[in-house]
Structure 1
């Protein structure tokens, strides 16, 4: 079972034990406090406090559930020392609940049998004629019921964990199918069309060489441009195939992307996040593609010494920025890529597809800053 869950449940059971001890002592006001009673109260209280106050003791119990066997022996000792009619018997109920929580069905049944048998043995040896139904049968039945309740809670928790694992697996399957569909669409819409154009131009080139060498040279130049474009599109697709991991939070993927890029290029890349945020699968796919393209541009053109990548959530808007201290450039008035470069154009198309805004700010000698703003969106908080 999940150790944090076990820790919490055992802690609650021991708090109930302390409450039962308090109730028992209140019920005994006016009666003489015997040495055996005092010793049992001190031992039961001390063991409960040790678990609740000292993490090392709690970790030991959680990692070694057989420690509950010692608690079972302590419970039987309390019953034997004080008798079945003592109010302090209330404090032994938590042991039954803990056994049902920590052990599988067969071991829990053995534990319940030991508790009931020990209790009934003490009852028989006492030969108490005043014992009513609750003392004779009610308390043993409560032991069995509490063990059963613990077992039911344990089973329900295990079923919940299994359902969570199945949900994660289903999410991964859907994300993978989404990824394949996006890659197929992009290959068809960009790379496929570019390669088809290259093939048609290549078929026409021999005829132009014979009829019009100047026109053939122009066709050859177009082929070269188209080849560069196809290479850039293929590189982008490959980068995207490696970049996203839909089962991990966006912040983790971005941090890993920066670390990997820094290792590959030797340029420092700092990542910062403000607020634990994530995006829907489609939007984060495009955002990660824009970040990958921005980092690729830095590596190829910027001659930067440091890059800063940030992820923030502001009033429902998710903002991702990539800023470098490189040589910068003079942006074109229409915001598109310079001749023979397709990075900015591709980033703007991706931002439009994700319903985001792209802002590229640069100047010669002053570095470049690429900012993607998505939103307002329904932000997914927390790690998946």
Structure 2
């Protein structure tokens, strides 16, 4: 689990942890007062040693909660100290009710913080110790003390289970809240893309198209006048045509991501590029969605939201972050543009893997290129030569916490593999 996930889980149970620590501190105060009145100095010492196990988490859970929950040494020491405190309260002072209260708080605390794997054995151990203390006390067992002891043992088991359930509910609520936040962020990004597409269509696209028409008319006029400036006008005309095409491509990508899935957007980009260049391109989509039985769903309808298995049950793979989706589309466009301009390829194979991460692979059968010994690219050399496409791809991927790898050689084609997290960091 990531550090962010751990912080979210420890924050979810912070209020309950503080409440249980307060309960244990109150119990220790009662025990300390009782020990002081009976002049039991040794008992007071052990009770004082037990105070940090409740006081420190109470004061610093927000900062160190994850560390407390992970540390097995601290947890086992807490269990041993609870056994010692129970022994003094039951055997030395004859107040099993107070010992049971402390044990109940400890069992609930372990349930909330560590879940069933710790709550069940710790609760069972504390409940068993509660009963053994009655037997080992050396005093005749009266029905009142037996009733109190077994009631306390049952309460320990019950609160251990209740703490586990409460912790699970709180963590589930935090997970739902985080998912809701991501969903709202995704919806906001989708609306922003739709707004941006409309604005680009109403302003930028029309402006570029208008400039292109004017340049075409200008070039024709210069040709009729026999002006030597005609080639320059033709060059501007071609540049406007390419800018118009790029703008339209951006608009279509934004529209597809607004109304469809990442898979739809990737498929649309490949189709547009193949139609424009005449180069054959294929797409394979693999969704790594895992079912409840732990098996990967291999068949069904594949999309960015998961896979639909043969039984018709949707197995969600987790939504892809809006920023990551847009980055995948732009990285694909850049890789395909490089194939068109430099590779002299006849076919391109694109693979999109939607698993724990998003992987995009673009492989062509072109002439290839020289790479560094480690398989990387020489960023400085590309900058110097004015080739900013691969540099931009590397920078975009790095900004999102992913990585990009290249494999190529003269006459061996080029392979570009992009790996991105589903959620932008």
Q: TM-score, normalised by structure 1?
A: 0.48
TM-score (norm 2): 0.44
By relative contact order (CA 8 Å, sep 6+), the higher-ranking structure is 1
